[in-house]
């Protein structure tokens, strides 16, 4: 009986110590930004994981995406940047800013604008630009991507569609049927103007913010060779890799959450 009581006390003390240790883990604010032809829904699973650990999570809906009805003519890289900046300014302290795909340019522009509010930038299968680059200039160097041939501009050149038969193979060839159905159901044409917008980046602002990159090794939208080239010419603190297509936050959300937890801690 005495041995049992001693063991019980030790167990309770250990559990209490563990609880106290967990309570002291850093609680961060994550700001998540979706990519082209996407919307906030793509971050739902990762958002839930982060929130369960006590982190604050803000998912930004870019103009003319998802339920936002901004006309495509009014969409621009500056408009995207300003939407994210406004979301960050409504929070306290510094944030971990995560961008997927096209949003790599967006988060870079945000860091240039308010570097003091950014703890770190995380690029998920994303475009990582240098000063003066645009989506158009970066994609022109991607020999592996299947995206270009799948794009169909509208007659007025204001939006870009993806051929129906190419949508899944470009974005999530490795997804479950449920995720494929979700991506298809949520699909919306993309504003064209931001693709040509160049970003201005300086070493004094963008250059001083810590950066992480998550490679998507089986990506059909942003080729892995281009991803590695962008990282090689940038000051990235640490690189991670996920064996996935272009949407690992939907196909492998636990893996993405695990990486973000590590970055936060």
DSSP code per residue over 207-247:
GGSEEEEEEETT-SSS-HHHHHHHHHTS--SEEEEES--S-
When pLDDT is cut at 50, 70 and 90, the band that residue 24 belongs to is: low
Q: Among all chains, which residue has been given the structure tokens 């929130």?
A: 51
Model confidence at 25, in pLDDT bands (50, 70, 90)?
Answer: low
Query: Which residues, including other chains, have CB under 8 Å from residue 56's CB and lie 6 or more apart?
Result: 27, 28, 29, 30, 91
d(CA 180, CA 174): 9
pTM check: above 0.85: yes
pLDDT at 78: 98
Q: Indicate whether 197 pLDDT > 80.
A: yes
Closest of 215, 219, 207 to residue 246, by C-alpha: 219
What's the rounded Cα separation, in Å, for the pair 90 and 88? 5
CB neighbours of residue 26 within 10 Å: 8
Q: How would you list the strands of the sheet with 210-216, edge to edge?
A: 56-60, 29-33, 95-100, 118-124, 210-216, 238-242
The average pLDDT across 216-239 equals 98
Strand ordering across the sheet containing 190-191: 151-153, 159-162, 190-191
Per-residue confidence (pLDDT) for residue 259, from 0 to 100: 98
Residue-wise pLDDT for 100-123, tens only, equals: 999 999 999 999 999 999 999 999
What pLDDT, on a 0 to 100 scale, did the predictor assign at position 195?
98
What pLDDT score was predicted for residue 103?
98
DSSP letters, 10-61, are: HHHHHHHHHHHHHHTSPP-EEEEE--TT--GGGGHHHHHHHHHTT-EEEEE-
The CA distances from residue 126 to 68, 176, 240, in Å, are: 22, 22, 13
Q: Is the pLDDT of residue 13 over 80?
A: no
Would you say 215 and 128 are in contact if contact means Cβ atoms under 8 Å apart?
no
Bridge partner residues of 160 (DSSP): 153, 190
Q: In Å, what is the CA distance from 44 to each residue of 36, 172, 182?
A: 16, 16, 12
CATH class, range 27-264: alpha beta
Contact between residue 199 and residue 225 where contact means Cβ atoms under 8 Å apart = no
Question: Taking 60 as the threshold, does the pLDDT of residue 65 lie above it?
Answer: yes
Q: Could you give the C-alpha distances from 247 to 55, 95, 150, in angstroms and in order?
A: 22, 23, 17
Could you report the per-residue pLDDT of 140-180, keeping only the tens digit for each?
Answer: 989 999 999 999 999 999 999 999 999 999 999 999 999 99
């Amino acid at each position: 009986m005495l041995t049992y009581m001693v063991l019980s006390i030790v167990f309770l003390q250990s559990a209490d110590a563990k609880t106290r240790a967990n309570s002291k883990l850093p609680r961060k604010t994550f700001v998540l930004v979706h990519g082209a032809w996407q919307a906030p829904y793509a971050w739902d699973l990762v958002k839930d994981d982060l929130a369960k650990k006590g982190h604050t999570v803000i998912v930004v809906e870019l103009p003319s995406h998802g339920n936002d009805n901004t006309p495509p003519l009014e969409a621009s890289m500056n408009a995207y940047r300003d939407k994210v900046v406004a979301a960050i300014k409504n929070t306290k302290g510094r944030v971990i800013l995560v961008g997927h795909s096209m949003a790599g340019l967006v988060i870079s522009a945000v860091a240039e604008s308010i570097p003091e509010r950014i703890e770190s930038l995380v690029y998920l299968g994303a475009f990582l630009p240098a000063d003066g680059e645009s989506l158009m200039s970066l994609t022109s160097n991607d020999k592996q991507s299947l995206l270009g041939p799948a794009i169909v501009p509208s007659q007025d050149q204001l939006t870009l569609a993806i051929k129906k038969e190419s949508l899944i193979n470009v974005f999530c060839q490795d997804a479950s049927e449920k995720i494929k159905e979700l991506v298809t159901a949520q699909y919306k044409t993309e504003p064209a103007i931001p693709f040509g917008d160049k970003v201005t980046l300086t070493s004094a602002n963008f250059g001083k913010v810590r950066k992480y990159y998550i490679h998507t090794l089986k990506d059909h939208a942003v080729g892995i060779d281009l991803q590695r080239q962008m990282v090689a010419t940038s000051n990235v603190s640490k690189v991670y890799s996920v064996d996935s297509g272009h949407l690992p936050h939907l196909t492998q959300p636990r893996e993405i959450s695990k990486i973000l937890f590590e970055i936060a801690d």
